[in-house]
Amino acid sequence: MSKDEITHQLDPFFAECRAFVERRHEGLSRLLAVLARSFRLNLKAWLLGASEEFHWDRSSQLESFRGIIKELVSGVPHFTSEMVEKMGADLLTLSNIGVFVRDIKKDNYRGGRLTDFSASWTRLHVMLSFRESTGRALRAQKESFDEMIEGMT
């Protein structure tokens, strides 16, 4: 694996993108987490008034910016005790489709749905290949979830 591929795998923006693609592929885009869309804009072309869509080109990263737009979920608690069982089941579903959430905390939930996948690993992630087995990632995810819930009671 090249240095660029490893950098790509460890980038929080791409972690969000990969997690969304896995959820969308399984038809679970909105059920387990807030809806999100990513974009990348080539500033140079935009300023020059170009209208065609641009292809991903890592060589022009300094001329580009990227972002993720997420569904606005306001006026709801992070989660309630009634949501905890479903939240645990959602994490298991995510791990079954190859998404391992590594930053489980209250602030990453809105209305019982996950809002942040920037630290997540997806199947075939370089860190799962070299450092941690899928089983260990699943156990770590469950332990983090349990600690978050215990801290709330």
Give percent of the chain with pLDDT exceeding 90: 24
Residue 1 or 113, more confident: 113
Instruction: Give me the amino acid identity at 37.
Output: R
> Is 49 domain-assigned?
no
- The CA distance from 104 to 106, in Å, is 7
3-state secondary structure of 26: coil
Residue that has been written with the tokens 């387990």 in this structure: 32
Structural domain range at position 26: 3-35+71-152
Q: Is the pLDDT of residue 58 over 60?
A: no
What is the pTM for the complete model shown?
0.70
> Is 136 domain-assigned?
yes
> Is 44 domain-assigned?
no
- Cβ partners under 8 Å of residue 19, min gap 6: 33, 94, 99, 117, 120, 122
Q: What total of structural domains would you count in the chain? A: 1
> Is 55 domain-assigned?
no
Q: Is the pLDDT of residue 84 over 90?
A: yes
